[in-house]
A and B are shown apart, each in its own frame.
Chain A
Amino acid sequence: MSKTGHKTSQDNATGGRKSAGSQPAFPMRGSLLRKNLMTALLLAPATLWLVVFLVLPFIAIAIFSVGERAPEGGYQAALTFAQYANLPARATAFWNTMVLAPIGALACLLVAYPVAYYLALRAPQRWRLILLALIVIPFWTSLLMRTYAWMYILGGRGIPALLVYVGIEDLRLINTPGAVLLGIVYGYLPLMILPIYVSLERLDRRLLEASADLGATPVSTFLGVTLRLSLPGVMTGFSLVMILLLGEYLIPTLLGGGKVFFIGNALVDLFLQSRNWPFGSAIAITLVLVSVVVLIVANRISTRLSGARRVDLI
C-alpha cells in the first residue's frame, strides 16, 4: 500500500519537473501560469487520495501508538512510549518475519528467474504473449481463494490420498513449513517474474555475442552479462515480494496451521482479538519503518551491483 503510494507521488513529481523543464527559454507569463494550474489540477486527485487514505490514517496510527489501551480494549488518550518499550513482547514475531521474508523472496527468485529467462530470451515470439497471459491469469482470482485451494490440494483428501496408492500412508503435507513456502512462492511468483522479464527483454543480445566472441564460457557470460544486466529487475522483484511478505499473515495461517506467528498475525490479533490498539499501532509504525529501511537497503545494493547505475525502486 505504502509502496504504491510512494511510487505514484514520485512519478507525479518527476512528471511535474519535466513539464516545467521543457518550457521554452522565455515563456509567456500566461501560458506558464496555465501550465502550472494544469499540473496542479492533474495532481489533485492523486494527492487528495494519498492524503485521505495514506497520510491521515498514518497520523491516526501514530497518535494511537503513544496512547493507552482502554480497560475494555480500544484506545484511550495518553502520551506514553510504553507501547514502543513493549515491542520486545513481539520479538519472536518480528524475528519470524525477518527470516521468512528474505527466504520466501529468495525461493520466489530461484523459481522465477528461469521462467523469466525462458520467456524473454528463449520462448518463440508468437507464444510469448500467451505465456505471459498464463502467468498473470491466476491473479484474477483473489489470493484468499487460491490459498484455500492449496489447503485442499495439500490436505488429506488431496495429494496424500493419491500417494496412498503408491504405498505412502499417513503423509502430512498441510500445516508444515514447506507448505507455507510453497504457498508464498505460488502466490507471489508473478510479481517476481514480470520485473525480471522486463529487464531481460531489454537485454542487447549483441552483448552476449560479444562476450562469446571474446572467449567467455556460457556460464561466465550468464554471470557477467545477463545476470548483471537483469539485476535491476531482480532487485525490483525481490523488494516487491519482500515488502509484501513483511505484512503477510494469510498464508501462514491457512497453510501453516496458525502455528507460525508473523508480525502480520500479531497485528491482526492485537486489533481484532485483544483489541490493544495502541500496541498494535506501535507495531504497525515499526513495521512501516522497517519496510522503508528494507527498500533503501535494496536500492543501495542494486545500485552498487549494477555498476553505479541509478535504479529507482521506490
Chain B
Amino acid sequence: MPKSYRDGLPISPDKFVDQLMRLKRGSISRRDFLGLTGLGVATAVMARELGIMPTPAFAAENLGDRMSIATWPNYHDPQTFENFKADTGVAVEVNVFGSNEEMLAKLQAGGSGWSLFVPTNYTISTYKKLGIIEALDMAKLGNFDGTKEDARFTAEGTIDGTIYAVPKNWGTTGFAVNTKKLSKPMTSWKEFWDTAMAEGDGRTMVHDYQLTTIGNALKYYGYSFNSLKQDELAKAEELLLKVKPHLFAVSSDYQPGMRAGDAWMTMCWTNDGAQLHRDIPEIAYVLGKEGGEIWTDFYAIPKDAPNKPAGYALLNYLMNPKVAVKEHLANGAPSTDARVNALLPKEVLDNPILYPAADLLKPLEFGAAATLTDPGRAELMARFKSA
C-alpha cells in the first residue's frame, strides 16, 4: 500500500495514474469496487512479456505458456507470479473478484477460464455439490503438508475424506475506526450500529455483501451470524433500514474512503485492517465482542480448468512455505501453516489485528453454506439496498 496516502494534499495527477495502474493490476482493496459494480473487469495480465526461460522445473509435464487465477484484490505479492513465470514459463493472468457469490456465478455460467481460484470456506461444499470443483490430486501437491496445518481452519476443504481445497490464509471480520474522528472506545457490534446513527452519522460504511452486513446486524441482538430464522432476520432488517439513511456508503471498497477521511468507520476484513493501521496508525481494528465472522480462504481447481497442469504447478508453488511467507507479508492476513508461521517475523506474529486474543476469537463463527444460496437473505439485502 503506497505511503502517498499519508499526505493530506489532494491527489496529484501522478498518483491518480498510479491508482489507475493499481486498478489495472487489480490491487485495490479486497472485494473492491470493480467486483461490486459487477464488472469484474480488473483482469490484468502479469508478466505477459515473451517467455525467456523454458520450463526447467516442470519439464516432465507440458504446462503451456499461460493460465488464469481468480482471486481477491490486494491478496498476492505480484512478485510471486513473476517468479513463477521465471521458473516455469507460465504467465499468470490475475482476475480480481468482489464476492464469493460473483465467483460462483461465473463458474455456474461456465467457461470461466480459470485454472485456480480462491473461494472462502463456506462456499466449498456448494461447489462440490454442484460438481464445479475437482478432488485435488495430492500427488501433484508435494509442498502441501496437512499435518502442519491448523485443523480449525482447514476442515471445510475436506469433504468425506477427500481434499477439494487447501487453505491460503484465515482472517476475521470486524470494523475499522478512525479514532481521531470517533474517539469513544468501542468494543461491540451494538456500539458500531449505535454510533453509525449518532457520532458516525454520514461517515459509516457497511459491506455490499449479505453475509457480513446481515450477519453483523444479527449480532446487534446477539443472534447467530448465520441465522436464517424469519423473526431474527426481520429484526436485523429493521435495524438495517433504520441505519440506512445514516450511512456513508454500502460498499466493500472501503479503503479509499477510510484513507481519504470521508469515512470514519467501516466493516473490515483482517488484511484490510492490518494495511489501514500500518499506513494510518489512528485507524484501529475492532472485533465485536458479541462475535461475528472468522473465515479461511482456500485454493481450489475448477473441473473445467483449461490448464490443470499449470493450475497444480502454481498451487504447489504457492504451498512452498518460502513463497507463502512473502504472500502473507504482502497481504497482511494470518497463515494457517505452522511452517509459514515459523518464518514470519515476530512483530507480525505479535500483531493483535492478525492474531486477536483467544477470548475475542472464541465467539466468532465461520460462515454457513446455507447463507450463500438462501433466497431470503438475498432479498433482505436487496430491500436494504433499495430502501
Contacts and interface: CB of A to CB of B under 8 A. Distances in A.
A273 B210 contact: yes
Given A161-B10, A259-B247, A269 B37 contact: no
B361 interface: no
A90 to B, nearest CB: 7
Contacts of A213: none
B129 A72 contact: yes
Q: Which of B37, B108, B383 has the most CB of A within 10 A?
A: B37
B208 interface: yes
Query: How many residues of A sit at the interface, in one of the four size bands?
Result: 35 or more
A73 B248 CA distance: 31
B257 A148 contact: no
Interface stretch (B99-107, B144-152, B277-285, B321-329): B99-107
Contacts of B348: none
Contacts of B45: none
A283 to B, nearest CB: 11
Interface string A171-182: 010110000000
Contact of B105 (A159, A257, A272): A272
A269 B130 CA distance: 21
Contacts of A172: 202-203, 248, 262
A175 B104 contact: no
A230 interface: no
Contact of B16 (A152, A156, A175, A274): A152
A152 to B, nearest CB: 5
Interface in B19-77: 19-20, 23, 33, 36-41
Contacts of A309: none
Interface in B344-387: 373, 375, 378-379, 381-383, 385-387
Interface in A226-284: 249-250, 253-254, 257-259, 261, 265-266, 268-276
B10 A158 contact: yes
Given A271-B38, A272-B38, A273-B102, A161 B386 contact: no
Contacts of A265: 385
B222 interface: no
Nearest to A252: B37
Nearest to B387: A92
Contact of A258 (B16, B108, B203, B251): B251
A5 interface: no
A274 B375 contact: yes
Contacts of A253: 33, 36-37, 251
Given A73-B108, A92-B387, A275-B108, A155 B256 contact: yes
B250 interface: yes
A48 B101 CA distance: 34
Contacts of A126: none
Contact of A157 (B9, B247, B386): B9
A158 B11 contact: yes
A72 B126 contact: yes
B249 A257 contact: yes
Nearest to B260: A156
A41 B379 CA distance: 49
B308 interface: no
A179 B386 CA distance: 18
A74 B36 CA distance: 19
Nearest to A96: B386
Nearest to A263: B386
B142 interface: no
A80 to B, nearest CB: 15
B382 A271 contact: no
Interface string B122-148: 000010011000000000000000000
A140 B176 CA distance: 38
Given A257-B251, A276-B378, A72 B373 contact: yes
A13 interface: no
A157 B10 contact: yes
19 contacts: A72-B126, A96-B386, A144-B37, A144-B41, A155-B256, A157-B11, A158-B10, A172-B202, A172-B248, A257-B249, A258-B208, A261-B382, A261-B386, A269-B38, A269-B382, A271-B38, A274-B382, A275-B101, A275-B105
Interface of B: 8-11, 16, 19-20, 23, 33, 36-41, 99, 101-102, 104-105, 108, 126, 129-130, 202-203, 205, 208, 210, 244, 247-251, 256-257, 260-262, 373, 375, 378-379, 381-383, 385-387
Given A72-B129, A73-B373, A274-B101, 12 more contacts: A72-B130, A145-B20, A148-B20, A249-B38, A253-B37, A257-B249, A259-B250, A268-B37, A268-B38, A269-B38, A272-B102, A273-B102
